[in-house]
């Protein structure tokens, strides 16, 4: 595993790529969990119904789309939601997809 995985710059964000990342329910769940937690989460800390190798695949897709930033802490790989950068490029998109909006309207 590379010490410093590839992260796209904000200028390289692409709507098609981001959509293809977010259309998968597992990946959308990952983003939603990060958003709800408001904190970084290790790969193993998510509640997702797939094997480790599949999880690795999903995190890679999210990272390459620019949705998350990954960094190592010991043997754990932490995941951070790049929300501000996403909001800057695609305003309203994450709000519309993470069901935050519903919770916010409610209270």
Partner DNA sequence: ATCGAAGTTTGACAGCGATCGAACTTCTGC
Partner DNA sequence: GCAGAAGTTCGATCGCTGTCAAACTTCGAT
The footprint of its own copies (CB under 8 A) covers 15-16, 19-20, 22-23, 25, 90-93, 95-97, 101
The site partner of 59 among its own copies, DNA, none (C-beta below 5 to 8 Å per kind) is DNA
Please say which residue, 43 or 103, places its beta carbon nearer to DNA. Answer: 43
* Token pair listed for 39: 């904190």
Closest to 49 in 3D by CA, of 61, 58, 37, 39: 58
Please say which residue, 14 or 76, places its beta carbon nearer to its own copies. Answer: 14
The site partner of 54 among its own copies, DNA, none (C-beta below 5 to 8 Å per kind) is DNA
- Residues whose CB falls within 8 Å of the CB of residue 90, separated by 6 or more in sequence, listed in order: 13, 15, 18
Please say which residue, 14 or 20, places its beta carbon nearer to DNA. Answer: 20
Q: Are 82 and 89 in contact (CB under 8 A)?
A: no
């Amino acid at each position: 595993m590379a010490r410093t995985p590839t992260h796209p710059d904000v200028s390289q964000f692409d709507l098609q790529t981001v959509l293809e990342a977010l259309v998968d329910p597992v990946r959308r769940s990952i983003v939603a969990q990060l958003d709800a937690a408001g904190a970084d989460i290790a790969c193993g800390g998510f509640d997702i119904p797939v094997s480790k190798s599949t999880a690795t695949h999903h995190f890679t897709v999210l990272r390459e789309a620019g949705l998350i930033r990954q960094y190592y802490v010991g043997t754990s790989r932490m995941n951070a939601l790049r929300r501000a950068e996403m909001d800057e490029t695609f305003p309203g998109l994450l709000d519309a997809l993470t069901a935050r909006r519903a919770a916010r309207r409610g209270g």
